[in-house]
Each structure stands twice: as structure tokens, then as C-alpha cells.
Structure 1
Amino acid sequence: MNVKPRKTSLSIRKLEALIRRLPPYHPKLPFISEELSKKMAGYKGECSLDFYLEFLDPKQYFIFHDIRLKDDSRFFQTDTLIMTRSDLIIIEVKNIAGTIYFDPLFNQLIRIKEGKEMAFPNPLIQVKRHESQLKKWFRNNGLREMPIHSFIVISNPQTVIRTTPDNSLISQKVIHREAIPSKIIQFENSLHPSTFSEKELKKAIRI
């Protein structure tokens, strides 16, 4: 069930409004346009995932998009959160073209495109942090903790994913968007039976 549909983010709407108001010769217009292009690429990547999530049973999987929760004094946001009777699944979407290499030595993501390399923060670190923050959010709201897992979904089907031969974590956590339904179902089948009652599930959804 799609509990919280995906919407265009506030930051995108603000940038679009700002561009409409600025004169075409404004010196900051190229920077603002580039920032909007980056955010739109990310948003389109997230939207491209929605089609594949529709293959999940709506009676078993409760889907929340663009969830923004407060962890004590800080806020954190996840692209997609899936709640079941057994666990929580965090999905972080990356729309990166070219070849991406997960470097375990320096904990970074390297993109190789048109012969140029560019380093990005390691999304595995990001989702690990979100797992910890989500656990704290459950405790702070009087909810029983559930197992939390996460996946990095690469939305561009032409992106090549690489890492070191001994880095098995990447094959478990990083997948292309087409594989997400089968990966989640396969993963769910390997878990223990339901641990969250229907009452607890409805309470968490309402909050």
C-alpha cells in the first residue's frame, strides 16, 4: 500500500520559483539552474522506482516516500521506507550515470564518466546512519523496535556497478531498480515470521 505518495520536494519548488523571478542576466542564475538540474535528476530517479514497487503485495508492504522524521534535535529524510509485519526497509535511490566504483578502502563512491573521475559520499554510510536514527525514532515514540535493513538502488539501468572482488556487501546492498521487487521478496522470505502485531503496525503508520 502506498501510504505516502511521492511529491516534488519543497527545495525543487523553491528553486523553480526563484528561477522564474530572476532576470536572465543574473550572475547566480547558472549556479541555481545547475542545482535545480541535480535535484530534478535525483527526483526523476526516485520516481522511476515507483513502477517496480507496484509489484509488491499492497496488503503486506506499506510504502512511504520522502519521509522526514526528527531524531532528537535533528531531522533525517529517506527516499523510500517500506514497512512490513517483520521489518523496516530503507531504500536510498541514486541516479548516477556511467560506471560507479565502491571503494571500501576510503569509504567513497567514485563515478567514472567520459574518462573523468568524481568522488561522492558513500551511500552505504548514509543508510547505516539512517538505520540508527530510525531505531531511535521508534524508541522516542514508544514503539517496539523492529529489524531495519537498507538497500541502495541505482535508478539508471545503464550504470555499471563495480567494487573489489572481496567486497560481498555491495552485491547484497546495491542493486538496479528492476531487481528491487524480487530482492525484497527474497529477503523477506529469509526472515523469521511476523514480529509486529497489526495493532502495532497501525500505530506506527498513524505516527
Structure 2
Amino acid sequence: MIPFFAVFERRRSQARELVVLATLSALAVAGRVAFFFLPQFKPVCAIVVIAGACFGGESGFLVGAVAGFVSNFFFGQGPYTPWQMFCFGIVGFVAGLLFHKGPLKPTRGALCVYGGISTFVLYGGVINLGSLLIMGMPLTPAAIIACYASALPFDLVHAAASVFFLFVLGAPMQQKIERIKTKYGLISP
């Protein structure tokens, strides 16, 4: 994660942009805490995707990593925290590459498709590998298949939640963020 943080630190961020990113991180944390009673049904990846699409990859990574770290003060820190930080962050980073000055337009449909696939493949795929390594399991084909198969229902629910929250919150949040960017003269990196 150090290269992502270093790139963000070197660029000239405006205080107004940092306030918006901190607010998005806090919103992701609040969403994760508010839905604690529904396993894996959380809006974190959706908010991280929106942050990446509106502010770019570095900002998307930062919102995801901060949200993963801070929300674990409520859920408990552990050896999985850096893995969660990286997974949430990489979802936002790739969203920034694809949607912010990238080849895709951040439409509701495109965000929903990306959110579902990235949550399932990027977040779920990497976090499951992290689980294997944390447990000290040997990386045998049988262990890998067992880990990914047992995580499949959770990954599917998490991906469905991302699609749902992007469908409901994507357009309104983008409109508000674009209004804030215009009103306060935030310059995209």
C-alpha cells in the first residue's frame, strides 16, 4: 500500500478535496457500521467506487484504505485489516483508472457492472487469498478451492450489495460531488 499513499502524498491536494475524501471515508465507515447485522451487505465498495470515479484512482484508493482501517475500530483490528484496506483501496483505484478520465463513462449501468465484478473478483479474490495466508494454510489446490468455495456465498452477497448501493446511491452522490467540485473549485489531478 505504500506506493499508493506515497503518490497521494506527493501530489498537491487541496484542503477542500481532503475534506470531501474524509467525508466519503466517514460515510463508508458509517455505512459499514449501520449494516453490521447483515453479513457482507455493506455500502463500502460502492462508496469507494464513486470516490474513484469522481476524484481519480489515488483518491479512490485512499478512501477505501481509510474506510477499511477506521471501520475496524468498530469491528476489531487484526491481521486481516491490511488485506481489507488494500482490497477496498484497489477497488477504488481501478474505478478511478476506468471512470475518471478513463475509457468508461460513469453511468449508472457501468458503475453497477464494475461494482459487482470488482467487489467479487478484486475484493473477494484477494481477501480470500489473504485469509489462506493468515490462517497459515498451505497453498495447495485443494486448500485454495476450499477457501474460495466456502467464501462464494459471502462474495456474492457483497457483490450484490455493491450493485444495489451503486444503483441507489451512485447518481445522486455523483451529482452532489460534481456540485461540490464546481462550487469549491476542486481541480481534478
Output the TM-score relative to the length of structure 2.
0.33
Determine which structure has the larger helix proportion and give its number. 2
Choose between structure 1 and 2: higher strand proportion: 1
TM-score, length-scaled by structure 1: 0.31
Which fold has the larger relative contact order, with Cα–Cα distance below 8 Å and residues 6 or more apart in sequence?
2
Greater Rg by CA: 1
